[in-house]
Amino acid sequence: MGLWLKPSNEQVGQIWIEPRNWDVPSFELGWFLDSGFWSKGLATEAARRATRFIFECLNAHKIIVITRDNNERSHRLAQRLGLTREGHLRECSAKDGLRWGLFHYGMLRNE
C-alpha cells in the first residue's frame, strides 16, 4: 500500500502486510519511506494504523517485523510500536561483499 501526504497527494513511501502463518494467525508488517520524509512521524503513524488493522480486522494473534541489523531507524520504529526483539540472525545475508544480519521482532495481540 502506498503512503501518501494528505495535502499534496504525493506518494512518500510504502507499507505492506503479508500473511506468515494462517494457523496462528500471524502477519508480517514492513515499511519504506523516502529519505526526504524521515523523522516526521509518517512511518510511525502508518505502522500504528496498520498494527491496529492487523489485530482488529484480520484478527491476528501475532505481528512480525524483520529488519536488517544495520537499519537503526527501523529498529527504533519497531520498538516504538511496542514490538519485542525476539531474535538476531547474524550475518545471514550478503551482496557485493557486504554482510548483514536480521533482527526479528514480534508482538502478540494481548501486548
Count of positions (residues) in the chain: 111
Q: Domain extents for the chain? A: 2-108
Looking at residue 36, its pLDDT comes to 80
Architecture of domain 2-108: 3-Layer(aba) Sandwich (3.40)
Looking at residue 49, its pLDDT comes to 94
Looking at residue 5, its pLDDT comes to 83
Helical ranges in the chain per DSSP H: 42-56, 72-80
Looking at residue 50, its pLDDT comes to 96
- At 32-88, the pLDDT tens digits run 988 887 888 888 999 999 999 999 999 999 999 999 999 999 999 999 999 999 999
Q: Is pTM, for the whole model, over 0.75?
A: yes
